[in-house]
Amino acid sequence: MNRRTLLAGMAAGLATPSLLRAQTWPDRPIRLIVPWPPGGSTDTIARIFQPKLAALLGQPVVIDNRGGAAGSIGAIEAARAPADGSTWMLAYDNEATNQTLLRLPYKTLEAFAPVSLVADGPLALVAHQTTSYRSFQDVIAAAKQAPDTISYASSGVGGLAHVSTTLLQQQGGFSLVHVPYRGGGPALQDAIAGQVPLFMSNVVIISQHIKAGTLRPLGVTTAGETRHVPGVKSFAQQGFPGFQAPTWWAFLGRAGTPEPIQARMREALAQALADPEVRGRIEEQGADVRATGPEECRQFLAREIERWGKVIRDNNIRVDS
């Protein structure tokens, strides 16, 4: 046996189980944690690309809804999952704000390996059709006349919808009552039933109700008007210059997952999001497909954590606000 053959044999014998698994991955169903209840935007987007992703990987992709505590219950479980490619997570914008608002047993950029920013889009403040609010200025005037009497719903404490609305109140000198829910789905049900007069939400779960006239859009969080809510001015155009708060969804894996597995997932996810039907269905919901690389996703997450962390600290936003 020559030296080269001997070294090759030794290397094969020293191959770790994780490397061997990477060679055959995926060899079992894949769990995709959605840290929100069914019916919300994260669940909706996940279920749009899920079938195509499963077909490309050759294994079922099982969505596991783990809602609660502003998305942190599911995120904590994902952060504790084995780094073997068996568990992934579709994160929502709360993942950035939670890093400052909550005491978590993990840090996003240490616990997770970013795969891709899947999509982003506007938040919109909507009023139920039975209310008298025809514009955002109507809400401001009513709230200044009777502070802390007008309620607005959001998908949960500490989410971008909550934090951005708090910032609007502080910049505009008016005060609303926050009604947090355990996800966008439950909040939507009360919003369309008229149980709460206002709802700040991503457009994904409210677009059809805007089109039906049940919910009346009063403003969006993009820099200017958006094609997803045509004819509605942004808050920046309504007396809040520079105000922007786009919502987003990011696909994350466990840090330490073997690079060949990460690369395979990146490739499959990119192909799924490039599929015309998948892309079209996501954009019909009110979001724009991004499908970034992992480094761009990492940098985006870092900016969001820093940006909204500063807003939370500067404005003393707390989980009970």
CB 35 within 8 A of CB 72: yes
The CATH superfamily of 123-238 is: Periplasmic binding protein-like II (3.40.190.10)
> Which of 3.40.190.150, 3.30.1600.10, 3.40.50.720, 3.40.50.1950 would CATH assign to domain 14-121+246-314?
3.40.190.150
Measure the CA–CA gap between 260 and 316, rounded to whole angstroms.
43
Burial of 12: CB neighbours in 10 Å, binned 0-12, 13-18, 19+: exposed
Is the confidence at residue 245, as pLDDT, over 70?
yes
- Identify whether the C-beta of residue 85 lies closer than 8 Å to the C-beta of residue 30: yes
Per DSSP, which regions of the chain are E strands? 30-34, 61-65, 87-92, 112-121, 123-128, 151-154, 177-180, 198-202, 215-220, 247-254, 288-289
C-alpha count within 13 angstroms, C-beta hemisphere, residue 201: 38
pLDDT at 18: 57
Residue 163: predicted pLDDT: 93
Tens digit of each residue's pLDDT (9 = 90 or more) over 80-137: 999 999 999 999 999 999 999 999 999 999 999 999 999 999 999 999 999 999 999 9
* Per-residue model confidence (pLDDT) at position 269: 98
Q: What is the pLDDT of residues 27-64, one digit of tens each?
A: 999 999 999 989 889 999 999 999 999 999 999 999 99
Across 204-227, average pLDDT: 96
List the chain domain ranges: 14-121+246-314, 123-238
Does 123-238 match 14-121+246-314 at the fold level?
yes
pLDDT mean across residues, the chain: 93
Terminal C-alpha separation, the chain: 72
**Residue found under tokens 């109507």:** 138
pLDDT at 214 over 90: yes
Among 9-13, 159-163, 246-250, the minimum mean pLDDT is found in: 9-13
State how far the alpha carbon of 53 is from the alpha carbons of 63, 71, 313, in Å: 12, 23, 39
- pLDDT higher at 67 or 127: 127
Grade residue 162 by pLDDT with cuts at 50, 70 and 90.
very high
Answer with the residue of higher pLDDT: 280 or 17: 280
